[in-house]
């Protein structure tokens, strides 16, 4: 037994000595520079692009298996310009040879210095980073599919791998993407990545920093500039396989014409994990801070193939108006504008068209204070769902100006333009501060309002929204006033004019009411109302007319009548106006509406009433009683 063991040890030692001897021989006698032409030819065969090696290639085999190359350049195809696809100033890789024979991967260093990638997409959609199939490679027969389930993935390759890397660095890299199809150019510059003491199952540090420049490719166009720095403690479990980042911190600064104040600073803290086998990921303990906003919560990528997301986010305050371009043609101060503002804030976060039609997401969103369209909305709470281009916020609740909001919102991005649908109600809101914040001008209507709205519109610019707005708004207001017009005084003036007199002036330039109701129908850029009803202890007011949202003009008629004998709003007793209906016409713009007596209608009504009275008197004098009644009814209908 002992001689056999001695023989076995001798054989093993001989094999090891042979390997070491061969490695030493190759280390001193083999020079890759002598095979430069074969190497560049093979790369061109595989990629279809020429490889240039401007510097020496260094190779070592023992005790380190290492390679170092300088001034590498991978060319482009002619249609993508003269600049090379990729350049590397220096690349160095050194790994231990003997551990590799045991299936272990121990690396002293991997250093890539001066990497530059020039990515190009032409106007017809071709790109220079998709490599053609290698010439001479065997092609599958027609109809033969590819079984992706049997293909080895990098994640499966990691399983069980004993990994150790002392130093991993990417220095001064630059990546640019010029997209002629989209007319954009994006550049990542000064890209540096560093890590050390990487070992499976043990924590190791990560550091990443870069600058970015993004925007239109047109000369002189405004650009968006950014700087980012990332640090984290990472842990790579090759058995799972899973990558975990703890103490993750990202500091970023963004500058550009589209940024409020020209610049924005963001800071993110969280922990993150990535399942390398399934591609699922999660960001936990998220804290994102920018301006006066802090967002906390969790985001998870549950299915990268779809992609599918789950989230639970809570923000203390968000000022949407600060980040959205303000359209000079603002929406009119309509009763449904407060409800529409809630929908506008939610719709502003719709995903880009290229992802909206595939993204599936669900989660909860809470915002303590939201400012949108000039309105201040508090305690917003909603469940958001998006399914391949169809976005739902339901249920959606909030507090607005002392009132409560309940509703649901849908945004269909599968069609162009996207379609917004609202079904909502607002109960008990104070109109005066709401309208003042919405319009930026003193409110013309006060009171407590209840609003019910069912609306649809095309998402887009203000004119698109107004022109496509369709649906119904139901409004109820109690214990309020209409500022800028004293209807009772206008009735006194009407009565005085009919008598050829002048009515005394009244100091109060408002009309008080106990209840006001109206239904507004929207279509073709016009709001139409035919059932206005306003009441007070003194007056009854009805009305009908329209408001053009595109030209922002009003054409409306009120019909007012006195129902009590008391003196109202600082004026003389209106008993002499009992039974008289006074027409008032409202014209002009939303900003400066004009109230005036409709004298033509007033005179016509007065003449009609007098004619009716004269006929009644004549009938009573000359006709028998039965005929008087029949003719009175017929003429009454005719003179209405």
Contacts of 445 (CB under 8 A, 6+ apart): 431, 432, 435, 477, 480, 481, 482, 483
Q: Are residues 592 and 616 in the same domain?
A: no
How many residues in the chain?
A: 640
Beta bridge partners of 534: 516, 541
Please determine, for residue 639, whether its predicted confidence score (pLDDT) is greater than 70: no
Please give the Cα distance from 92 to 140 (Å, whole number): 36
Please determine, for residue 201, whether its predicted confidence score (pLDDT) is greater than 70: yes
Lowest mean pLDDT among 146-160, 401-415, 493-507: 146-160
Residue at a domain's end among 173, 201, 221? 221
Please give the Cα distance from 409 to 392 (Å, whole number): 6
Query: Quick one: pLDDT at residue 14?
Result: 43
Mean pLDDT of the chain: 81
Please give the Cα distance from 625 to 631 (Å, whole number): 10
Please determine, for residue 133, whether its predicted confidence score (pLDDT) is greater than 70: no
pLDDT tens digit sequence for 582-593:
788 999 998 888
Q: Are residues 518 and 616 in the same domain?
A: no
Using pLDDT thresholds of 50, 70 and 90, give the confidence band for residue 380.
Answer: very high
Q: Which two tokens stand for residue 84?
A: 């090379």
Residue whose pair of structure tokens reads 């906003």 in the numeric block:
293
Query: Quick one: pLDDT at residue 347?
Result: 45
Query: Quick one: pLDDT at residue 325?
Result: 54
Please give the Cα distance from 479 to 431 (Å, whole number): 11
Q: Are residues 548 and 622 in the same domain?
A: no
Lowest mean pLDDT among 56-70, 170-184, 342-356: 342-356
Please give the Cα distance from 121 to 181 (Å, whole number): 7
Using alpha carbons only, how large is the chain's radius of gyration in Å? 39
Query: Quick one: pLDDT at residue 27?
Result: 53
Q: Are residues 500 and 570 in the same domain?
A: yes
Q: Are residues 53 and 124 in the same domain?
A: yes
Query: Quick one: pLDDT at residue 161?
Result: 64
In a domain, 186, yes or no: yes
Residue at a domain's end among 221, 247, 270? 221
Q: Are residues 72 and 93 in the same domain?
A: yes
Using pLDDT thresholds of 50, 70 and 90, give the confidence band for residue 445.
Answer: very high
Q: Is the peptide bond before 241 cis (omega within 30 degrees of 0)?
A: yes
Query: Quick one: pLDDT at residue 147?
Result: 45
Query: Quick one: pLDDT at residue 285?
Result: 97
In a domain, 570, yes or no: yes
In a domain, 620, yes or no: yes
3-state secondary structure of 21: helix
Number of domains in the chain: 3
Q: Are residues 490 and 629 in the same domain?
A: no
Query: Quick one: pLDDT at residue 316?
Result: 97
- For 493, other C-beta atoms within 10 Å of its C-beta total 19
In a domain, 238, yes or no: no
Lowest mean pLDDT among 188-202, 343-357, 384-398, 417-431: 343-357
467 or 352, higher pLDDT: 467
Q: Are residues 565 and 615 in the same domain?
A: no
Q: Are residues 109 and 180 in the same domain?
A: yes
In a domain, 106, yes or no: yes
Cβ(543)–Cβ(530) below 8 Å: no
In a domain, 422, yes or no: no
For 217-268, the three-class secondary structure string (H helix, E strand, C coil) is CCCCCCEEEEEEEEEEEEEEECCCCEEEEEEEEEEEEEECCCCHHHEEEEEE
Q: Is the peptide bond before 395 cis (omega within 30 degrees of 0)?
A: yes
Q: Are residues 621 and 593 in the same domain?
A: no
Residue at a domain's end among 221, 240, 256? 221
Residue 633 domain boundaries: 610-639
DSSP H stretches of helix in 291-385 = 320-323, 337-347, 353-356
Q: Are residues 627 and 522 in the same domain?
A: no
Residue whose pair of structure tokens reads 């990268």 in the numeric block:
304
Q: Are residues 632 and 494 in the same domain?
A: no
Please determine, for residue 366, whether its predicted confidence score (pLDDT) is greater than 90: yes
- When pLDDT is averaged across residues 487-506 and rounded to a whole number, the result is 73
Please give the Cα distance from 1 to 387 (Å, whole number): 72
In a domain, 110, yes or no: yes
In a domain, 378, yes or no: no
Using pLDDT thresholds of 50, 70 and 90, give the confidence band for residue 634.
Answer: low
587 or 343, higher pLDDT: 587
Please give the Cα distance from 604 to 586 (Å, whole number): 19
- Reference 556, options 526, 580, 578; nearest CA is 526
Query: Quick one: pLDDT at residue 556?
Result: 95
pLDDT tens digit sequence for 283-330:
999 999 999 999 999 999 999 998 999 999 999 999 988 877 534 333
Residue whose pair of structure tokens reads 């050390």 in the numeric block:
196
pTM: 0.78
Query: Quick one: pLDDT at residue 332?
Result: 39
């Amino acid at each position: 037994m002992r001689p056999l063991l001695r023989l076995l040890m001798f054989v093993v030692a001989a094999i090891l000595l042979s390997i070491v001897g061969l490695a030493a021989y190759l280390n001193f006698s083999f020079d890759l520079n002598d095979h430069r032409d074969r190497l560049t030819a093979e790369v061109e065969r595989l990629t279809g692009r020429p490889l240039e090696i401007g510097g020496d290639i260094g190779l070592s085999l023992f005790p380190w298996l290492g390679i170092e190359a300088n001034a590498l350049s991978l060319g482009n195809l002619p249609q993508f310009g003269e600049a090379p696809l990729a350049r590397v100033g220096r690349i160095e890789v050194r790994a231990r040879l003997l551990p590799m024979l045991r299936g272990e991967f121990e690396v002293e260093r991997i250093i890539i210095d001066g990497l530059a990638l020039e990515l190009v997409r032409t106007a017809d959609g071709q790109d220079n980073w998709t490599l053609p199939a290698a010439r001479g490679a065997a092609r599958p027969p027609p109809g033969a599919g590819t079984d992706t389930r049997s293909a080895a993935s990098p994640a499966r390759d990691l399983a069980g791998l004993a990994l150790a890397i002392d130093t991993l660095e990417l220095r001064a890299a630059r990546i640019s993407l010029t997209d002629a199809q989209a007319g954009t150019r994006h550049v990542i510059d000064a890209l540096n990545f560093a890590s050390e003491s990487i070992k499976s199952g043990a924590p190791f540090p990560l550091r990443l920093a870069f600058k970015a420049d993004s925007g239109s490719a047109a000369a002189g166009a405004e650009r968006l500039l950014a700087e980012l720095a990332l640090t984290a403690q990472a842990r790579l479990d090759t058995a799972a396989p899973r990558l975990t980042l703890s103490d993750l911190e990202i500091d970023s600064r963004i500058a550009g014409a589209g940024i409020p104040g020209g610049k924005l600073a963001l800071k993110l803290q969280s922990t993150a994990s990535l399942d390398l086998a399934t591609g699922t990921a999660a960001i936990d303990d998220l804290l994102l801070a920018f301006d006066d906003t802090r967002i906390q919560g969790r985001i998870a990528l549950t299915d990268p193939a779809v992609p599918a997301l789950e989230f639970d986010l809570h923000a203390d305050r968000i000022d949407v108006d600060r980040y959205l371009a303000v359209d000079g043609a603002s929406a009119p101060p309509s009763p449904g504008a407060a409800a529409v503002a809630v929908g506008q804030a939610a719709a502003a976060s719709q995903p880009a068209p290229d992802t909206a039609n595939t993204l599936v997401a669900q989660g909860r969103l809470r915002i303590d204070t939201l400012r949108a369209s000039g309105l201040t909305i508090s305690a917003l709470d909603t469940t958001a769902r998006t399914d391949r281009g169809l976005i739902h916020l339901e249920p959606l609740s909030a507090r607005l100006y002392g009132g409560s909001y309940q509703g649901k919102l849908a945004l269909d991005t599968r069609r162009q333009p996207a379609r917004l649908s609202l079904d909502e109600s607002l109960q008990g809101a104070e109109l005066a501060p709401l309208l003042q914040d919405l319009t930026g001008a003193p409110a013309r209507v006060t009171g407590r309002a209840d609003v019910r709205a069912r609306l649809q519109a095309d998402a887009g610019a203000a004119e698109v929204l107004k022109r496509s707005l369709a649906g119904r708004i139901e409004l109820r207001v109690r214990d309020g006033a209409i500022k800028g017009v004293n209807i009772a005084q206008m009735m006194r003036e009407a009565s005085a004019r009919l008598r050829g007199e002048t009515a005394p002036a009244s100091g109060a330039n408002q009309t008080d009411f106990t209840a006001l109701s109206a239904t507004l129908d929207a279509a073709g850029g016009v709001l139409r109302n035919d059932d206005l009803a306003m009441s007070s202890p003194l007056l009854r007011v009805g009305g009908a007319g329209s408001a053009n949202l595109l030209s922002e003009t009003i054409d409306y008629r009120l019909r007012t009548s006195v129902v009590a004998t008391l003196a109202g709003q600082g004026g003389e007793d209106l008993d002499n106006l009992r039974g008289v209906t006074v027409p008032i016409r409202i014209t002009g713009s939303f900003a400066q509406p004009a109230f005036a007596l409709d004298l033509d209608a007033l005179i016509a009504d007065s003449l009609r009433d007098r004619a009716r009275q004269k006929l009644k008197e004549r009938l009573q004098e000359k006709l028998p009683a039965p005929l008087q009644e029949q003719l009175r009814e017929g003429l009454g209908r005719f003179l209405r």
